[in-house]
Amino acid sequence: MKNGLPDAIDVVEAKTSKIDAVDFENLVFGNVFTDHMMICDYVNGEWQNPVIKPYGPIELEPSAKVFHYGQAIFEGMKAFKDDQDQVWLFRPEDNFNRFNKSSVRLAIPEFPKEFFFEGLETLLNLDRDWIKKGFGNSLYIRPFVIATESGVSASPSKSYKFMIICSPAKAYYSGEVRVVFAEKFSRAADGGVGYAKAAGNYGAQFYPTNLAKEEGYQQIVWTDANTHEYLEEAGTMNIFFRVGDKLLTAPTSDRILDGVTRKSVITLAEEHGIPVEVRRVKVQEIVEAAEKGELKEIFGAGTAATINPVKGFGHQGKKFELPELEDSYATFFKKELMNIQYNKSEDKYGWRYLVKN
């Protein structure tokens, strides 16, 4: 290694590809993985040279600290292929910076930028055929890091494993989505790890989400932990509310994830003259807007789903349905974002990142 750069990324190619056995028209999100993965170990105080090898199991000690103290963080990204077979990433530096921000919060050593991008591009070129053309088709990219030191003392690990795995994807959610506003459970609290992509944030959501599903809802809109008076996030997405022609969304904080898609929607709204207010949004404000017929839309924004419209919501036993709109903000933002992601429109913001072949 010289000046923090890998001398060379070791590549071990798969002897055969699984791609011919995959039904790309009927993918279940996150269930199928490409032929290769990237691995990089942290030992003796530094990150080693990255290795790309065939996708497969890894071996860990039962006492590895990730199992006992939850030192694990991840990111979610996507690669898109345009009509000329060029492969693009969308705002990957934002994902990389957030990855290291999450690492710092979990006392994990920051990952080198050069390793991240050189390894990712090598991996994407190796599995390039898994990225299919056409709107809605993409390759979901999951970088993550786990604590691997053996030992059950309650202290940060001295060794870690960084990995990237990739999964071909179509639409994340299918069918209609309805949400319930949280009244008891919380996703995150002040001073906690809500702003980080910590694995435990998501594991803790599963139980209350299961309860919501029993009531006929697909997701929960989380409220603040102190009073449950303010709306913050929805499941794995940031959340937007359209009241009249105005767009409302909560500000980022140490409880709310600084979503890449969220930031992009806000920029697009401002660019196209759509009034947007980034402020705390009260539950009662949205309930009253729905009762008066002023609540036009709710939609989630995130990497996996891009933009996901919400058909209705529940609060304190009451159910509210949202109107069907021909020209919805959700449809507009999704089209604008996808046109940029798939290289079908000008990228005046510098969001696209070309993966060089």
Res. 1: pLDDT tops 60: no
Residue ranges of the chain that CATH labels 3.30.470.10: 10-169
pLDDT digits (tens, 9 = 90+) for 110-152: 999 999 999 999 999 999 999 999 999 999 999 999 999 999 9
Give per-residue burial for 204-224: e unless 16+ CB within 10 Å, then b.
ebeebbeebeeeebbbbbbbb
d(CA 54, CA 13): 6
Q: Find how far residue 110's CA is from the centre of its chain.
A: 19
pLDDT digits (tens, 9 = 90+) for 281-310: 999 999 999 999 999 999 999 998 899 999
> Span 10-169: which CATH code?
3.30.470.10
CA angle 72, 77, 82 (to 5 degrees): 160
Phi, then psi, of 207 in degrees rounded to 5? -65, -55
Fold of 178-341: D-amino Acid Aminotransferase; Chain A, domain 2 (3.20.10)
CA angle 69, 70, 75 (to 5 degrees): 160
Between 236 and 49, the higher pLDDT residue = 49
Between 142 and 4, the higher pLDDT residue = 142
Q: What pLDDT score was predicted for residue 6?
A: 54
State mean pLDDT over 85-89.
98
Q: Indicate the average pLDDT of the chain.
A: 95
**SS3 call for 340:** helix
Residue ranges of the chain that CATH labels 3.20.10.10: 178-341
Plot region of 223 (φ>0 → left; ψ -120 to 50 → alpha; else → beta): beta
pLDDT band at 2 (very low <50, low <70, confident <90, very high): very low
Q: What pLDDT score was predicted for residue 7?
A: 61
Question: pTM of the entire structure?
Answer: 0.95
Tokens read off for 99: 């990855």
CA angle 90, 344, 115 (to 5 degrees): 25
CA angle 256, 172, 320 (to 5 degrees): 65
